Structure 1
Amino acid sequence: MISGIVTAVLLLAFVGGWIWAWSPKHKHDFDQAARLPLEDDQESSR
């Protein structure tokens, strides 16, 4: 019984995190974070 409840709670947390990550309002932040390694490479090559 308890293991079923824990499984359901973890499933809901996973789905909630997935929805949050794929939310269009976070796209700009994630795109900016994805470019960080490339910006560091450009600064160190100067």
Structure 2
Amino acid sequence: MDTNDLRAALTVLMLLIFVGIVWWSYSGKRRQAFDEAAQLPFTEEDDSGPEPGNRR
């Protein structure tokens, strides 16, 4: 096995990992969890900003 065979095998492995991640993220079982995570910025209060009366 030379370097080119190793590179080809690594490329195929990375492609399979990528396809697996895409398949997992678009699967129907994960939809509810992703929808809840998408709404987090709108449901939590943001306490990191300045007070409304202390503007300069």
Normalising to structure 1: TM-score of the pair?
0.85
The aligned residue for residue 7 of structure 2 is: 3
Q: Which amino acid aligns with 1:21?
A: S
| Rg larger in structure | 2
Q: Which amino acid aligns with 1:34?
A: A
Bigger helix share: 1
Flag as ranges the 4+ runs of structure 1 deviating above 6 A.
Answer: none
The aligned residue for residue 38 of structure 1 is: 42
**Structure 1, unaligned runs of 5 or more:** none
* Residues in 1 aligned to 2:22 and 2:38: alpha-carbon distance in whole angstroms: 18
Task: Tell me if 1:17 matches 2:21.
Answer: yes
Q: Which amino acid aligns with 2:9?
A: I
Structure 1 position 25, deviation (Å): 0.6
**Structure 2, unaligned runs of 5 or more:** 47-56
Quote the sequence identity (%): 38
